[in-house]
Amino acid sequence: MSARPTPHSRSGYRSFRNIQTRWADNDMYGHVNNVVYYAWFDTAVNSLLIERGALDIHEGTTIGFVVETQCNYFAPLAFPQTIEAGIRVAHAGSSSVRYEIALFAQGAETAAAQGHFVHVYVNRETQRPVKLPPALQAVIDSLK
């Protein structure tokens, strides 16, 4: 059995996205439901890629499929907090990327939760893996 993960520091992440919590994010215990954390991971990564011109969700020929996810929780988050999602790339292959994301309460130095998404990039029509396009590769390189 592996040792329990410890929360990362914000200094280990290359880019940050603010995410505003919503009333509906809280569960009956008064903190954010676990499934929302994965939605924040997805929002943080994809909004960054779209903003930087590396992903066109409507017309692009290359799209990303999530093939693996994982999250560790360290401290509760709740509405009405603002979340700061830190993003970095741990590994990139010819058609796949492991994005690591840490979620920080606004201004906090250590993560309340952290985990990863592995995306495999595929041709939209054939759904077969493709080489990472140059624009996507440039963003990935900036996140290493």
What are the start-end ranges of the H helices in 10-113?
Answer: 34-51
Mean pLDDT of 23-30: 93
What are the start-end ranges of the H helices in the chain?
Answer: 34-51, 134-142
Closest by Cα among 105, 4, 84, 97 to 49: 97
C-alpha–C-alpha distance, residues 32 and 37, integer Å? 8
Kindly tell me if the per-residue pLDDT of 13 is higher than 90. Answer: yes
pTM for the full predicted model: 0.94
Kindly tell me if the per-residue pLDDT of 2 is higher than 90. Answer: no
Kindly tell me if the per-residue pLDDT of 16 is higher than 70. Answer: yes
